[in-house]
């Protein structure tokens, strides 16, 4: 049973979170939002034959899963709390007649409390490179708002001069 739960968490966890993210606009700021990029993502399913849900889910923090059976054969299975790059996630699977009928998020990472526009869970890696000063062939320049004096020294001013005099 615990292996089944791990599979549910691993493959449906992201989906369940997506479904759970209704417009959850908050007026308060995230007080702290530590970078957790070094943790592995939680999207990979556990290896086949994995003995426990805890060891099967990458980066998981072990918490025993619990199963509750209600009258009518409707069972809820709480998965382990899994550490993801965004924080801890715990998912509840609801099974009826041997079929998965619902997946609910029990714990959501706090910094996922965002708008309904969220389109993915795991989040892609950021491209990271060293800053280089480039001389470029460009049409227009975006930058922090220059003052009128700063404009005179700017690349945009050079572009404007070239265009106006040509």
Partner 1 sequence: MRRAEQIWGTVVSVDVRDARDGADVPGALDAVFAWFKRVDDLFSTWRDDTEVRRIGRGELDVAEASPEVRTVLALCDEVRVETAGAFDITVGARAAEEVDPWPGLAPLDPSGLVKGWAVDRAASMLQDAGARAFSINAGGDVAVRGQPAPGTAWRVGIRHPWEPDKVAAVVAVVDTGVATSGRYERGDHVLDPRTGRPATALTSASVIGPDLALADAYATALVVMGVDGLRWITGVAGYAAMAITDERRVLSTPGFARHRVPAIADDA
User: C-beta of 111: minimal distance to partner 1 in Å?
Assistant: 7
Residue 38 binds partner 1 (CB under 8 A): no
SS3 call for 34: coil
| Sequence-separated (6 or more) residues with CB below 8 Å from residue 156 | 140, 141, 143, 146
Check residue 133 for interaction with partner 1 (CB under 8 A): yes
Residue nearer to partner 1 on the CB measure, 71 or 144:
144
68 vs 153, which CB is nearer to partner 1?
153
Q: Which stretch binds partner 1 (CB under 8 A): 9-17, 64-72, 75-83, 124-132?
A: 124-132
- Please give the Cα distance from 60 to 5 (Å, whole number): 13
Decide if residue 43 touches partner 1 (CB under 8 A).
no
Say how many CA atoms lie within 13 Å of 1 toward its Cβ. Answer: 13
Residue from 28, 48, 49, 97 binding partner 1 (CB under 8 A): 28
Would you count residue 22 as binding partner 1 (CB under 8 A)? Answer: no
The least distance separating partner 1 from the CB of residue 77, rounded to whole angstroms, comes to 28
Contact between 155 and partner 1 by CB under 8 A: the answer reads: yes
Where does this chain touch partner 1 (CB under 8 A) — which range of 59-67, 72-80, 99-107, 153-161? 153-161
Distance (Å, rounded) from C-alpha 6 to C-alpha 46?
Answer: 7
Which residue in 48, 49, 99, 127 binds partner 1 (CB under 8 A)? 127
Q: What is the Cα gyration radius of the chain?
A: 24
Strand, helix or coil at 36? Answer: coil
Binding footprint of partner 1 on the chain (CB under 8 A): 25-31, 33, 35, 111, 113-115, 117-120, 123-148, 150-151, 153-160, 163-164
């Amino acid at each position: 049973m615990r292996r089944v739960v791990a599979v549910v968490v691993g493959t449906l966890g992201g989906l369940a979170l997506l479904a759970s993210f209704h417009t959850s606009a908050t007026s308060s700021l995230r007080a702290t939002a530590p970078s957790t990029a070094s943790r592995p993502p939680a999207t990979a399913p556990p290896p086949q034959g994995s003995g426990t849900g805890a060891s099967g889910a990458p980066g998981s923090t072990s918490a025993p899963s619990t199963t509750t059976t209600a009258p009518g054969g409707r069972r809820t299975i709480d998965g382990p709390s899994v550490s993801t790059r965004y924080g801890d996630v715990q998912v509840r699977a609801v099974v009826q007649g041997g079929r998965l009928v619902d997946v609910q998020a029990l714990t959501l990472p706090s910094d996922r409390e965002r708008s309904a526009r969220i389109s993915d869970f795991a989040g892609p890696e950021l491209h990271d490179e060293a800053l280089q000063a480039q001389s470029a062939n460009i049409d227009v320049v975006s930058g922090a708002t220059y003052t009128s004096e700063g404009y005179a020294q700017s690349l945009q001013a050079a572009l404007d001069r070239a265009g106006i005099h040509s």
